[in-house]
Copies of this chain bind each other. A is one copy, B any other.
Amino acid sequence: MTDVPSPQFLGQPSAAPSHPDAARLDPVPNPHPDALYLTRFVVPEFTSLCPVTGQPDFAHLVIDYAPEAHLVESKSLKLLMTSYRNHGAFHEDCTVDIAKRIVAAIAPRWLRISGYWYPRGGIPIDVVYQTGPPPSALYVPETGVPPYRGRG
């Protein structure tokens, strides 16, 4: 345990940022910078507000990336997610914005975000963005989120 990085939020109480601009992602050194590999976060607890009606929206997010020099520390990711709680965001816009935010913070070799939004008016929207085709030597499993089915 000699080369343990020093995350800024992990293991200590942290106030939730009130706005996405107030959140800060915490890059930690990639322990295997020689290796091409995938890291996947699943965030089943994302919520924001509809900019038109002000009503809450909910999404299940899957974030896949191949790190370059840095990883995203997971507690700082959670705080970023929480910062959207009381702010307006359209589904397509918000999903891609989060991707761009992470790219800016850690400059990964590759990144994909998959946002599965809860239905409105009987119709859910899924949004999937990636920075480009995945590197050919990287294995990215299916996200496997079941499709929306209504009832029955």
Interface residues of A (CB under 8 A from B): 1, 4-5, 7, 10-11, 13, 15-16, 30-32, 35-45, 47, 51-56, 58-60, 62, 67, 71, 74-75, 77-78, 81-82, 85-88, 90, 92-93, 95-96, 112, 114, 116-130, 132-133, 136-152
Contact = CB atoms under 8 A, between A and B. Distances in A.
B128 A140 contact: yes
Copies, count? 10
A18 B60 CA distance: 24
A129 B37 contact: yes
A112 B149 CA distance: 18
A128 B16 CA distance: 30
B44 A118 contact: yes
B141 A142 contact: yes
Contacts of A58: 44-45, 122, 150-151
Contact of A143 (B5, B124, B147): B147
Contacts of A124: 41-42, 151
A41 B118 CA distance: 11
B56 A45 contact: yes
